[in-house]
Amino acid sequence: MLVVRPIAMSDYEALHTCAVESGHGFTSLPVNEELLKNRIQHSEYSFAKANVTEPYDEGYLMVGYDSETGEIAGTTGIEAAVGWDVPFYSYHISTIVHHSRKLNVKNTVKLLTFGNNYTGYSEVCSLFLRPQFRGGLNGRLLSKCRFLMLAEHPQRFSQTIFAEMRGVCDEQGNSPFWQWLQQHFFSIDFTMADYLTGIGNKGFIADLMPKLPIYINLLSKEAQAVIGQVHDNTRPALSLLKKEGFVCRNYVDIFDAGPAVECDLEHIASVRDSLRLKVKVVEHTSAQWFLIANTSFTQFRATAAKAAVNHENHSVMLAPDVAAALQVQDDDFVRVLAQ
């Protein structure tokens, strides 16, 4: 059984392994001991922070672990509000029309405009499932457990939730979009820029990034082709988010041009469709699968398991091992989502 819980400092080695395996372009997990340990410490601080009534600088990082072996299977997280402590940059794609009535010429062109439009928004991030654990409901659990948390504790998050999707790059970490930027504005390669961003060293962006809008038709054909496109490994995550109601509002990453997608919290399908039910711990024969999370924040737990829902009395029957994994007992509440 895969169980999701808040990360702890004892998970550092496993988090480092996830950072290495996630590969190029996964900015939120830099292969850097100091930064990874700082991220764990900040998550521990955030989960312990009481009486939060609005989002600020909290960052919640979680791990999924095998309940039988204890092995860490992957990571998932939520940043409560980006851009307050460290600037959060993106490009917005807009359209303008150049029209000369006298010459009867009309040209429609697209621009990339540099900005901080997502400042203060909550970001679902750091979703990575190690290859040997992919399959079944594991990927859905790591992704959707965040939405069960949002549904249960909405005061800790913003009204709009967004996610950045990894853009196109090759196995060596070369990004066609960044190669154009590097040629004209920078002197460092994509992997270095990606790494510097991951460790929070973003000063070079403000110093060197062009401040005026960029005409997309002036970029190389290779760079134009990948704007708004995702890395092959990211397609399943994007597909899942689209089913949740996330859409692209024409914002892309400033390094690899991967798309950002967003959705209002109350319109996320898993938030809207999840149910808060009272627990009955009993052996049962239900064949229906659910994603289930307890209602605790500091001791958050989530898993995928078979359960039996009684809609008439607003209760759910959980097997003893599932209840133990979720740290709940009779008459406690859980949030469930049918699969």
| Signed CA dihedral, 294, 300, 301, 302: sign only | positive
Q: With H, G, I as helix, E, B as strand and everything else as coil, classify residue 308.
A: strand
Given pLDDT bands bounded at 50, 70 and 90, which one contains residue 85?
Answer: confident
Separation between Cα atoms, residue 260 and residue 91, nearest integer Å: 10
Question: Is pLDDT larger for residue 191 or for residue 45?
Answer: 45
pLDDT at res. 193: 66
Given pLDDT bands bounded at 50, 70 and 90, which one contains residue 97?
Answer: very high
Contact by Cβ (8 Å): 37, 12? yes
Please, what is the Cα angle at 233 between 271 and 118, to 5 degrees?
50
Structure tokens at 219: 């970029």
Beta strand segments in 207-307, E: 214-215, 247-252, 259-264, 275-281, 289-294, 302-306
Structure tokens at 310: 């009684």
Q: What is the mean pLDDT of residues 173-201?
A: 72
Separation between Cα atoms, residue 280 and residue 272, nearest integer Å: 23
Active site annotation includes 231: yes
pLDDT at res. 199: 56
Distances (CA, A) of 221 to 64, 92, 180, 212, 311: 41, 19, 10, 21, 56
List Cβ neighbours of 156 (8 Å cut-off, separation of 6 or more): 52, 54, 55, 58, 80, 297
Question: Model confidence over 199-251: pLDDT tens digits?
Answer: 555 556 666 677 789 999 999 999 999 999 999 888 988 999 999 999 999 99
Q: What is the mean pLDDT of residues 309-315?
A: 95
Instruction: Give me the chain's average pLDDT, please.
Output: 92
Question: Model confidence over 127-177: pLDDT tens digits?
Answer: 999 999 999 999 999 999 999 999 999 999 999 999 999 999 887 778 899
Given pLDDT bands bounded at 50, 70 and 90, which one contains residue 62?
Answer: very high
pLDDT at res. 202: 55
One-letter amino acid for residue 71 of the chain: E
Question: Is pLDDT larger for residue 244 or for residue 29?
Answer: 244
What would the DSSP string read from start to end of 135-178? Answer: STTHHHHHHHHHHHHHHH-GGGS-SEEEEEPP----TT---HHH
pLDDT at res. 197: 63
- What predicted TM-score, i.e. pTM, was given to this entire model? 0.90
83, 85, 59: which is closest to 156 by C-alpha? 59
pLDDT at res. 213: 92
Separation between Cα atoms, residue 153 and residue 47, nearest integer Å: 12
pLDDT at res. 195: 63
- Least confident piece of the model among 14-28, 111-125, 226-240, 272-286: 14-28
Q: What is the mean pLDDT of residues 99-116?
A: 89
**Residue 313 neighbours by CB distance under 10 Å:** 8
Q: Report how many helices (DSSP H) and strands (DSSP E) the chain contains, helices first.
A: 10, 16
**From 98, 153, 231, 311, active-site residue:** 231
Whole-number percent of the chain with pLDDT over 90: 75
pLDDT at res. 146: 98
Q: With H, G, I as helix, E, B as strand and everything else as coil, classify residue 206.
A: helix
Domains and CATH numbers, the chain: 2-90+115-270 (3.40.630.30), 274-338 (2.40.40.20)
Separation between Cα atoms, residue 255 and residue 73, nearest integer Å: 28
Given pLDDT bands bounded at 50, 70 and 90, which one contains residue 194?
Answer: low
pLDDT at res. 247: 98
